[in-house]
Structure 1
Amino acid sequence: MMKPVFATVPLMIALSACQTAVAPVEVTRFHAATPVSSGTVAIEEMDGNPDVGLEFGTYAAAVGQELQRIGFNEVKGADSQYRALISFRRSFRPTGPDQRRSPVSVGVGGATGSYGGGLGVGIGINLSGKPKDVVTTEMFVQIRRRSDSTAVWEGRAMTQAREGTPAAQPGLAAGKLANALFKDYPGQSGQTISVK
């Protein structure tokens, strides 16, 4: 009777090892008393965006998809009723207590007693490699009325992931941030929430 139980234990351990913790997205939004949820919108890069370049297209596509989902119609050029201004930033933070520590450590120990003494030397080698950095990805979006440049909605979303993991890749991070930012649009103004 005990065999089936023992056979499932390795499977359960293997399945639990495959599960990865998904970091939540921290979201803060602000909006006017009656935020808009329809109209034409052009997606543009915010002035002073620190990460200009080809990567902007990834974030613009993710935001555009979410804006269309909530009722906006994306158009190109200056004929739109609204402008969705996007800025994003990726930063890297080293992990571990001391990044300069050698992967090799040597320990020496000795003991004496009534039956004699002894001396021992131990060598430890860390084969796990350098700890991965933590990648923080932030996205800022403002929706402004084109006619008078009044901000009608704005939000910030931030998430973290280990460097080298799928969640740290710009494409996945952009989609995750945009989805969290526009979840339950327009959201509670001034409230910071955690979206999983």
Structure 2
Amino acid sequence: MLKSIFAPVVLSLSLAACATAAPPVEVTRFHTDNPARSGSIAVEEIQGNPDVGLEFRTYADAVNAELQRVGFSAGPAGASDYVALVGFRRSFRPTAPYGGNDKPVSVGVGGAVGSGGYSGLGLGIGINLSGKPKDVVTTEMQVQIRRRSDSQTIWEGRAMTQGREGSPAAQPSLVAQKLAAALLGGYPGESGRTITVK
């Protein structure tokens, strides 16, 4: 009987873990009436990018792959038709112990006595699966596509997602791919509208 009680509980906990491993991405895009959909493009770091360093390459490569997926071709720096300026920021927000959504998981199984004299099992379990609460990592990506000839911005967008520190949803390589795919998927997208991509 215990096996039949705990099977759905374990399954529901596993599904909840999967859901939190892939948080949604909030995306906002703006563009001119008819932005370019092809041509050579080079990915460069946006001026004033707050998070400079080797990690930038991870985000730049993810954006470059998505740009080629939507029709652009990789071009040489300084001589491409377009330039994609990329910036990103990672911020950390501490969470209060067991506050809000950080409460330990509780599993309760009730008991009952039926008219036929059947007596059920009463069981209460409190499981702290989180240990010490982890910080929430917010990652934001910004991309601007400009014509190189006149530096005119023809398309720009921002994407943001959150994940628990140490989880797959907060790993830079995975987050960079997820943000780039959400931001440039369906390029150019609807201008001036914020959407949620799951």
What TM-score bracket applies, with the shorter chain setting the length? Answer: 0.7 to 0.9
Name structure 1 gaps, 5 residues minimum. Answer: 100-125
The 3 A distance-change label for structure 1 pair 17 and 98 is closer
For 1:12 and 1:179, the matched residues in 2 are separated by 34
For 1:73 and 1:37, the matched residues in 2 are separated by 10
The 3 A distance-change label for structure 1 pair 159 and 127 is closer
Runs of 4+, deviation exceeding 4 Å: 6-9, 126-129
Aligned pair count reads: 166
Distance apart, 1:76 and its partner CA: 2.5
**Deviation readout 1:88-118 (Å, 9 max, x if unpaired):** 000000111799xxxxxxxxxxxxxxxxxxx
Which residues in structure 2 correspond to 1:1-196 (within 5 Å)?
8-19=4-15, 20=17, 21=19, 22-96=22-96, 129-196=131-198
Instruction: Give the superposed CA RMSD.
Output: 2.2
Higher strand share: 1
For 1:127 and 1:38, the matched residues in 2 are separated by 48
TM-score (norm 1): 0.79
Supply the AA of the counterpart residue of 2:160. Answer: M
Supply the AA of the counterpart residue of 1:31. Answer: H
TM-score (norm 2): 0.78
Supply the AA of the counterpart residue of 1:87. Answer: G
Supply the AA of the counterpart residue of 1:57. Answer: R
SS of the equivalent of 1:68 reads helix
For 2:154 and 2:40, the matched residues in 1 are separated by 14
Name structure 2 gaps, 5 residues minimum. Answer: 100-127
